[in-house]
Amino acid sequence: MSTTPVDFRLLCRRGDFSSNTSGILPSYMQANLVILPSEIAKDFLDLCARNPVPCPLLATTKCGFDELDNGLLIAPSNQGFDIRTDLPRYCIFERGKLKAEVNNCREQWRDDHVVFLIGCSYSFEGALINAGLTPKNITRHQNVSMYKTTKCLDAAGIFVKCPYVVSMRPYKKKDLDAVRSITADYIFTHGEPIDWGFDGADRLGIADLSKPEYGDAIDIEDDEIPVFWGCGVTPQLALETIGHQISGPVITHSPGCMLVLDVTYEQFSETKLR
Amino acid sequence: MSTTPVDFRLLCRRGDFSSNTSGILPSYMQANLVILPSEIAKDFLDLCARNPVPCPLLATTKCGFDELDNGLLIAPSNQGFDIRTDLPRYCIFERGKLKAEVNNCREQWRDDHVVFLIGCSYSFEGALINAGLTPKNITRHQNVSMYKTTKCLDAAGIFVKCPYVVSMRPYKKKDLDAVRSITADYIFTHGEPIDWGFDGADRLGIADLSKPEYGDAIDIEDDEIPVFWGCGVTPQLALETIGHQISGPVITHSPGCMLVLDVTYEQFSETKLR
């Protein structure tokens, strides 16, 4: 397997890797990808700025190849970097509907496309594992439970009536403070839980915890409570919600098939906070 | 009346002005004030960062006198500036309960206090007036209607289960796009509406629009819809909600009696966005 993010991305570029990046080069940060026609880029930027917990914007770029704005370190330039090829797999949407899954999006790429990288919860899950608080979805090799809530995002441009999506990990009540404090440091990847407990589920309008809208159902034992975090599916659902209004193609990573960055979370946040 | 913000603040410092700043030096920006014991400053900072629409943080300072961080321009230094005296009126809270209203807070000020300035909707109301879309609360000389919603802020440290407060201004449906687009520019003072319409009121859990929790009831005519914005009462209510956990005194401006800054909104946002 690849030993550096650059090598891994070259593997993707050649089409030799096209699946899930969970557990790949775990010390490096991974990011969700959204590529939009420029006409809605400003609205999407505003959506992220107004709703930073579910939509943590890491970086943007207009060109999409070697350079990313907002101080995000990316591959050493002599190795090259191409956002259109360097992820394992991409989804292509037209008018909000999934049209294709492809190994590169060279064909769909347009000069007016704008690239957004969004934080991913893999970062804080690593920290929870290191603290002996491994999320149950990981020990059970399941996908995390995700719920569409009745809480809406604060509207931004064409993004109106977009639901806030949360991920849920069950924890023992006595571990809540530790779980909160560990994930609170990950301010660029959803940060601390937004709410918890069965009363928290009520506040979020989650009617049935055993029926997540996305991912797998994870049972909550008698001595556990559900803990809810902002979830990166939120911006994807927002694009789906208003998709019929977007004329050009929208490109995203394929679920779980993220962009592997050249920085650790610590390096990234030092750069951003400087 | 004073012709510059410096003069106006000197008037406050001498105790010669102690009432509402609505309409005072209208081209200059005004700010809400929150002064907290340092032990909860980090949590409050996180609360604002995670919930920027209802809690738009303009600037912070540890010293509280001449200097404000985060690039906020403040009085020319030869004129001096003292956050403890230069507002018309202050509220002093102990354990979440209002204990006194005072013209200066020199006596309550402690070396471990941290100052937060938070954006105020006076900025965008001016822009609406200039566009011929004067909010009804202003033409009727009433206070804006404000509602405690069932939407909660994303938790941050000790700030848990804090309700999102919205302000409401009725507008004709045909004016909604203009109202949204004008206020969208005011990203440091709540920005565009977060939701609107009677279905918007339902989403926010507002049971009765004629019974606002704060401010005055403003009737909504048959050809109007309610339009909801993030509201600066939100951080105040958050402090009230968790107030019993704060040991030292909390100081805020007295409602409506804001800090008048030395910059226009345009100057401020140029500085922040640079």
Backbone angles phi, psi at B237, to 5 degrees: -65, -35
Which residue's structure tokens are 């629409």? B53
Range B229-244 average pLDDT = 94
Residues of A in contact with B187 (CB under 8 A): 46, 49
Contact criterion met (CB < 8 Å) for A156 and B49: no
pLDDT band for position A61 (50/70/90)? Answer: confident
Residues of A in contact with B50 (CB under 8 A): 52-53, 191
**pLDDT higher than threshold 60 for residue B13:** yes
Q: How far apart are CA A204 and CA A217, in angstroms?
A: 17
Res A143: pLDDT: 87
Contacts of A97 (CB under 8 A, 6+ apart): A243
* Residue of chain A minimizing CA distance to B182: A157
Q: Which of B157, B192, B203 is facing A156, going by the closest CB pair?
A: B192
Q: How far apart are CA A83 and CA A59, in angstroms?
A: 12
State the count of interchain CB pairs (< 8 A) between A and B. 62
How far B55 CA lies from chain A's nearest CA (Å)? Answer: 11
* Statement: A122-234 belongs to CATH 3.40.50.300: no
DSSP three-state, residue B146: strand
Res A78: pLDDT: 52
Contact criterion met (CB < 8 Å) for A194 and B52: no
Q: How far apart are CA B15 and CA A52, in angstroms?
A: 41
Contact criterion met (CB < 8 Å) for B152 and A46: no
Nearest to B92 by CA among B249, B257, B233: B249
Q: How far apart are CA B262 and CA B28, in angstroms?
A: 6
**pLDDT higher than threshold 60 for residue B56:** yes
DSSP three-state, residue A127: helix
Contact criterion met (CB < 8 Å) for B203 and A49: no
Residues of B in contact with A49 (CB under 8 A): 52, 187
**A265 sits in which H/E element:** helix A265-273
Residues of A in contact with B154 (CB under 8 A): 53, 194-195, 230
Contact criterion met (CB < 8 Å) for A155 and B230: no
Contact criterion met (CB < 8 Å) for B155 and A230: no
Res A108: pLDDT: 94
Amino acid of residue A41: A
pLDDT band for position A111 (50/70/90)? Answer: confident
Res B64: pLDDT: 62
Q: Which of A42, A48, A50, A204 to mutate to test the interface with B (most CBs of B within 10 A)?
A: A50
Residues of A in contact with B53 (CB under 8 A): 50, 154
**pLDDT higher than threshold 60 for residue A73:** no
**A253's tokens:** 């990573």
pLDDT in tens, A129-156: 999 999 998 899 888 999 999 999 999 9
Please report which residue ranges of chain B form alpha helices under DSSP H. Answer: 5-13, 41-50, 122-130, 136-139, 176-184, 197-203, 233-241, 265-273
Res A242: pLDDT: 95
Residues of A at the B interface, defined by Cβ within 8 angstroms:
46, 49-50, 52-53, 150-152, 154-157, 160-161, 180, 184, 187, 191-195, 203, 230
In chain A, ranges of CATH 3.40.1640.10 domains: 5-120+245-273
pLDDT in tens, A173-223: 999 999 999 999 999 999 999 999 999 999 999 999 999 999 999 999 999
According to DSSP, the residues that pair with B35 across neighbouring strands are B115, B251
Res B262: pLDDT: 87
Range B137-166 average pLDDT = 95
Q: Superfamily for B5-120+245-273?
A: PSTPO5379-like (3.40.1640.10)
Least confident stretch, A45-54, A160-169, A249-258: A249-258
pLDDT band for position A39 (50/70/90)? Answer: very high
Q: Which of A152, A180, A191 is facing B203, going by the closest CB pair?
A: A152
Q: How far apart are CA B138 and CA B129, in angstroms?
A: 9
Count the Cβ atoms, other than its own, within 10 Å of residue B181. 12
Higher-confidence position of A42 and A271: A42
Contact criterion met (CB < 8 Å) for A194 and B155: yes
Residues of B in contact with A154 (CB under 8 A): 53, 194-195, 230
Whole-angstrom CA distances from B222 to A72, B141, B171, B172, B173 are 51, 21, 10, 9, 10
**pLDDT higher than threshold 90 for residue B172:** yes
Computed over every residue of chain B, the mean pLDDT equals 91
**B24's tokens:** 């005072």
**pLDDT higher than threshold 60 for residue B46:** yes
Q: Which of B155, B191, B192 is facing A195, going by the closest CB pair?
A: B155
Nearest to B151 by CA among B222, B201, B99: B201
pLDDT in tens, B85-118: 999 999 999 998 999 999 999 999 998 899 999 9
Nearest to B49 by CA among B150, B125, B157: B157
Res A82: pLDDT: 86
**pLDDT higher than threshold 90 for residue B69:** no
What share of chain B has pLDDT > 70, as a percent? 92
Nearest to B5 by CA among B53, B72, B51: B72
Range A35-48 average pLDDT = 95
Q: Which of B46, B50, B180, B190 to mutate to test the interface with A (most CBs of A within 10 A)?
A: B50
Contacts of A174 (CB under 8 A, 6+ apart): none
**pLDDT higher than threshold 90 for residue B218:** yes
**pLDDT higher than threshold 70 for residue B52:** yes
Residues of B in contact with A156 (CB under 8 A): 184, 192
Q: Is the alpha carbon torsion for B14, B19, B25, B30 positive or negative?
A: positive
In chain B, ranges of CATH 3.30.2040.10 domains: 122-234
Res B246: pLDDT: 93
Range B134-156 average pLDDT = 94
What share of chain B has pLDDT > 90, as a percent? 71
Least confident stretch, A54-68, B5-19, B87-101, B192-206: A54-68
Contact criterion met (CB < 8 Å) for A46 and B184: yes
pLDDT band for position B122 (50/70/90)? Answer: confident
Q: How far apart are CA B97 and CA B146, in angstroms?
A: 21
How far A213 CA lies from chain B's nearest CA (Å)? Answer: 19
Higher-confidence position of B85 and B77: B85
Amino acid of residue A141: H
Range B109-130 average pLDDT = 90
Secondary structure (DSSP) of B208-270: -TTS-SBS------TTEEEEEEE-THHHHHHHHHTGGG--S-EEEEPTT-PEEPSS-HHHHHH
Contact criterion met (CB < 8 Å) for A152 and B46: no
pLDDT band for position B271 (50/70/90)? Answer: confident
Contact criterion met (CB < 8 Å) for A187 and B157: no
How far B45 CA lies from chain A's nearest CA (Å)? Answer: 12
Higher-confidence position of B72 and B97: B97
**B181's tokens:** 């687009």
